[in-house]
Amino acid sequence: MKINKLNEADLTKPEYRDGNGFIVEVIRTARRKSADIRVEEGAVSVVVPEATTVERIDQLLLAKREWIIEKLTRQREVAPISNKQFVSGEALPYLGRNYRLKVTTGVFQPVKLLQGRLVLQVPEGRQQPHMIRNALVRWYKHQAGVKIRQKVRRYAPLVGVEPVSVTIKSFKSRWGSCTADGKLEFNWRILLAPNRMVDYVVAHELCHLIHHDHSPAFWRELARVMPDYQECREWLKLNSGKLQV
C-alpha cells in the first residue's frame, strides 16, 4: 500500500527565513534542481535543492519580493472571513477540542502543541496577525498529513482497497476527493472538526475507490464500514461554514 507518499513539501524538515513582513518556509529536497517560490493561502514557501545556501535563498527572495508582496495582498483580500484576532488566549479547535493560543514576540518559531496550548513566536509589527494565521495554517496542514494518513492506514483494510497516494490540499467547498487513478486528496480544514468527522471523510473517500459515484451501492459500502456515517454527514452540513482559521 503506497499511502506513505508525501507532498514534496513534506520531504524534509522545514527551516524559516524572515522576509521583512512575511515569513518564508524553506523546504530542501533532493528531488529539485531549481528553486520554486510558492504563495498559498497567504503563506510563502520556497522549495530548493538540498545544497542551496542561505545567501542564495535570500537573493531569490529579494529578487521576487515585489511579486511575493503582490500575491500576499491579493490572497489576503479574498481570504475567508474569520472572527479570529490571533491573540493570546484565543481558542482554536483541533479534532474536537479547543486549545488556547499563546503568542510571544521574537525570532519566528513555528506552532507547537505544548501543555494544552498552541504556542508560537513571531516578530512584532503590523503583519503579525497574518504571520500568526499563516503559522497556524502550516501547523494544521502538517497535522493533517500525519493524522489523515494514520486513519487511511486504519480504514483501507476495512474497505479492502489500496490508494495510490494521500495528499493534503486546500479546497474551498469539499473535504476530500478521489481521482480516477486512485489518488486521495483531503482538505486540511477537516482537522478543525471533531475526530469522528475526520474518520467519516477518510472512509468516504476510500469507498470511492470502489464506487466512483454516490449510488446506493456506495452508501451501502460506507454504512458497512461506518454505520454512523449519516450523523457525521449531517454534522458537516450544519457546521462546515464554521470551520475556518
Task: Flag whether pLDDT at 235 surpasses 90.
Answer: yes
Task: Flag whether pLDDT at 24 surpasses 80.
Answer: yes
Could you read off the pLDDT of 65-81 as tens digits, one per residue?
999 999 998 988 877 66
Average pLDDT, the chain: 91
pLDDT band at 199 (very low <50, low <70, confident <90, very high): very high
Q: State the number of CA atoms in the 13 A half-sphere of 160 facing the CB.
A: 6
What is the end-to-end Cα distance of the chain in Å, rounded?
A: 33
- Give the pLDDT confidence score for residue 11 in this predicted structure: 41
Residue length of the chain = 245
Mean predicted confidence (pLDDT) in 87-115? 95
Task: Specify the amino acid at residue 172.
Answer: K
- Give the pLDDT confidence score for residue 81 in this predicted structure: 65
Q: What domains can you pick out in the chain, each with its CATH number? A: 1-79 (no CATH), 146-242 (3.30.2010.10)
Single pTM value for the model: 0.86
- Give the pLDDT confidence score for residue 79 in this predicted structure: 73
